[in-house]
Amino acid sequence: MTTNALGIYEKALPQDLSWRETFELTHDLGFNFLEFSIDESDQRLARLDWTRQQRQEFRDLMWATKTRINNLMLSGHRRFPLGSANPQIRQQALTMMQKAIDLCVDLGIHNIQMAGYDVYYEEKTASSREYFV
């Protein structure tokens, strides 16, 4: 018999909980895994710069609570779009992507879900599409 995994997006849960409480609530609500968010807020973008120790503690807590994180939702590119007309912002976007990949490797996260739009707050142009691609 196959058991289907069912996850919940981190932002659907109360934001004032510790990670342990968040992981425990995930299971208490009947979910098998949590989807992790790196959005455009400074607080969540800072996760990309977690130290090795912070990553280790987070990973250890995931294991201790038997909480999987299958996906990292990378919506920080809204603020720093890959298709930006500004080359410094495009560089920040590429740096963000590399940091997200490194974070996923360190935490054992297998998927990064990123938005499929080239820019969000800027005007879409043929160039913004090309930059994104």
Look up the CATH number of domain 7-132.
3.20.20.150
* Separation of alpha carbons 45 and 96, rounded Å: 8
Query: Which of these ranges, 2-11, 23-32, 68-77, 123-132, has the smallest mean pLDDT?
Result: 2-11
* Separation of alpha carbons 8 and 60, rounded Å: 20
- Domain boundaries of the chain, sorted by first residue: 7-132
pLDDT digits (tens, 9 = 90+) for 120-131: 899 999 999 999
pTM: 0.90
| Predicted local distance difference test score (pLDDT) of residue 116 | 85
pLDDT over 80 (residue 31): yes
Coil, strand, or helix at residue 74? Answer: strand
Burial 103-119 (b: 16+ CB within 10 A, else e): bbeebebeebebeeebb
pLDDT over 70 (residue 19): yes
